């Protein structure tokens, strides 16, 4: 089975081989550590949002991760329905912390096997580094 993850604009796709077995825990720890909440405590602050959500597909499974305008992280899992040629939402949950949404996404990817979880971790880490790490580094502490 070929697994690919693409940016929502379709310009960047990753179909590289997954990371070494067991490396997924290191990637999860790195992503969770990088996701320390440094948002302003001011309620009126809009804060930073990535220009596109994270999307990862493995076969008929699609996992989406994004931050909503209220600052909560939303993880959704969808399944492709080839008969009706559409996606059906299987589950959606909101989390206060990125690391919680990351854990939920990882647990859903594990259904497809350790290689899928490794791939999701690598792609999610890359997405986070691209869109969130620069914003976190730019914010005053």
Q: Which regions of the chain are under pLDDT 70? A: 1-50, 133-141
Compute CA 40 distance to the chain's CA centroid, rounded to the nearest angstrom: 22
Condensed to tens digits (0 to 9), the pLDDT of residues 20-42 reads 545 655 655 565 555 444 333 33
According to DSSP, the residues that pair with 91 across neighbouring strands are 77
Q: What is the pLDDT of residue 82?
A: 93
What does the angle CA 95 – CA 92 – CA 139 come to, to the nearest 5 degrees?
35
Q: Where are the chain's structural domains?
A: 1-6+48-136
Q: What is the pLDDT of residue 112?
A: 87
Average pLDDT, the chain: 74
Structure tokens at 2: 């070929």
| Prediction pTM value | 0.62
Number of H helices, E strands in the chain: 4, 6
**Strand ranges (E), the chain:** 3-6, 13-14, 54-58, 61-67, 73-81, 86-95
Q: What is the pLDDT of residue 132?
A: 72
């Amino acid at each position: 089975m070929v697994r690919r993850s693409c940016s929502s604009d379709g310009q960047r796709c990753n179909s590289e081989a997954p990371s070494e077995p067991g490396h997924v825990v290191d990637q999860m720890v790195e992503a969770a550590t990088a996701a320390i909440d440094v948002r302003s405590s001011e309620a009126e602050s809009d804060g930073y949002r990535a220009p596109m959500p994270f999307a990862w597909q493995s076969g008929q499974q699609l996992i989406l991760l994004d931050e909503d305008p209220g600052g909560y992280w939303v993880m959704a899992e969808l399944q492709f329905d080839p008969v009706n040629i559409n996606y059906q939402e299987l589950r959606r949950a909101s989390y206060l912390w990125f690391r919680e949404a990351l854990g939920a996404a990882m647990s859903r990817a594990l259904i497809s096997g350790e290689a899928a979880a490794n791939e999701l971790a690598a792609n999610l880490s890359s997405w986070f580094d691209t869109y969130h790490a620069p914003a976190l580094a730019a914010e005053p502490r």
